Amino acid sequence: MPNITYQLPDGSEQTVDVPEGQTVMDGSVRNNLPGIVAECGGSCSCATCHVHVAPEHMALFDEPMDEETELVEFLDGACERSRLSCQLIVSAECDGARVVVPDTN
């Protein structure tokens, strides 16, 4: 099962197993990690699941849809590595991926 490492808002790190087909958001919520609120439950409408993907791991995930891009544009602390973690579907290739959870969710 792929491992995903989350750098949490307090600077600590947690690495958890996330089954293929689930999202980076699912991996956080199911393991009760702090920082990813996921108010809308993954329907790409709340943007409280914002993460920064490590530059070398950006290509492991599908390109964002327009809805995601539009939401991310208006987020505090957004950058070119910003993604909504509910849209990051985990595949076998994602094993070892890292995301930073900002303290602004």
Pick between residue 12 and residue 45 the one whose CB is nearest to ligand FES: 45
Our separate counts of H helices and E strands in the chain read 2, 5
* Nearest distance from C-beta of residue 39 to ligand FES, angstroms: 6
φ, ψ of residue 83 to 5 degrees: the values are -140, 160
Place of tokens 């993604």: 83
Residues that bind ligand FES (CB under 6 A): 25, 38-40, 42, 44-49, 84, 86
Nearer to ligand FES, 83 or 98 (CB): 83
Is residue 103 a contact partner of residue 35, using CB atoms and an 8 Å limit?
yes
Cross-sheet strand order for the sheet of 13-17: 13-17, 3-7, 97-100, 50-53, 82-84
Shortest spacing between CB 17 and ligand FES, in angstroms: 20
Residue nearest to ligand FES (CB): 86
Closest CB 100 distance from ligand FES, rounded Å: 16
